[in-house]
Amino acid sequence: MPIISVLKMGNPLLFTKANNVDIIKIKSLKNTISNMLDTMQHFNGVGISAPQIGINQRIIMYGIDNNPRYPNAKPIPLNIIINPVFKVIDDNSILDWEGCLSVPGLRAKIARFQKILCSGFDEHGKSFKKIADNFEARIIQHECDHLDGILFPSRIENFKHFSFESELKNYF
């Protein structure tokens, strides 16, 4: 299965709003979805969006299973969401560390809503609805940002909380 290299910050595609998927053509996304999955797993991502592998479509996926980049994160089953949107259920904002395969080696504390209701379609074209909180809600909000051309550094409020991964264990 092909591992696609992940686009890195600076590539204009990462700052472009992605297009809605035509759900009637969902079957034609099979390759894209499997490339996203292979690539996410290869680079130990907890989530990935289609624009990160150069596909300008509104598709995200995430899941956690013993991830060395997030060793303390609880397992989350794989979710594939097409045309995802979310509604805020708890607008408490939680500040926590976040990273991104497109911004390798860097982390920042980013504020995200605590609890959301995410909806869209799954990879078979069936409607998808899930309430997510805490880290899962954070991942969904991060991946949905990718679909709008937003990378996490543009959400940093306090640049004292912007760090190389190698320095995190020393100073935070």
> Catalytic residues, which ones?
143
Q: In angstroms, give the least distance from the CB of 27 to Zn ion.
A: 27
Of 109, 135, 101, nearest in space to 14 by CA = 101
The distance of closest approach from Cβ of residue 113 to Zn ion in the complex, given in angstroms and rounded to an integer, is 17
With respect to Zn ion, which residue has the nearer C-beta, 21 or 100? 100
Smallest distance, Å, CB 83 to Zn ion? 18
Determine contact, residues 49/143, Cβ cutoff 8 Å. yes
| Residue 80: partners with Cβ closer than 8 Å, 6 or more residues away | 33, 37, 59, 60, 61, 122, 123
Residue nearer to Zn ion on the CB measure, 29 or 100: 100
From 72-80, 97-105, 113-121, 127-135, span contacting Zn ion (CB under 5 A): 97-105
- Can residue 60 be called a binding residue for Zn ion (CB under 5 A)? no
Q: Which stretch binds Zn ion (CB under 5 A): 54-62, 64-72, 95-103, 156-164?
A: 95-103
Query: b/e for 48-74, b at 16 or more Cβ within 10 A?
Result: bbbbbbebebbbbbbbbeebeebeebe
Stretch that binds Zn ion, among 19-27, 29-37, 82-90, 96-104 (CB under 5 A): 96-104
Contact 113, 90 (CB under 8 A): yes
Q: Which amino acid is at 166?
A: S
What burial letters (b/e) apply to 127-141, b meaning 16+ CB within 10 Å? ebebebeebbbbbbb
The minimum distance between CB 36 and Zn ion, in angstroms, equals: 12
Per-residue x/- marks for Zn ion, 100-129, CB under 5 A? x-----------------------------
- Residue 144 is a binding residue for Zn ion (CB under 5 A): no
Is residue 46 involved in binding Zn ion (CB under 5 A)?
A: no
Binding residues for Zn ion, rule: CB under 5 A, are 100
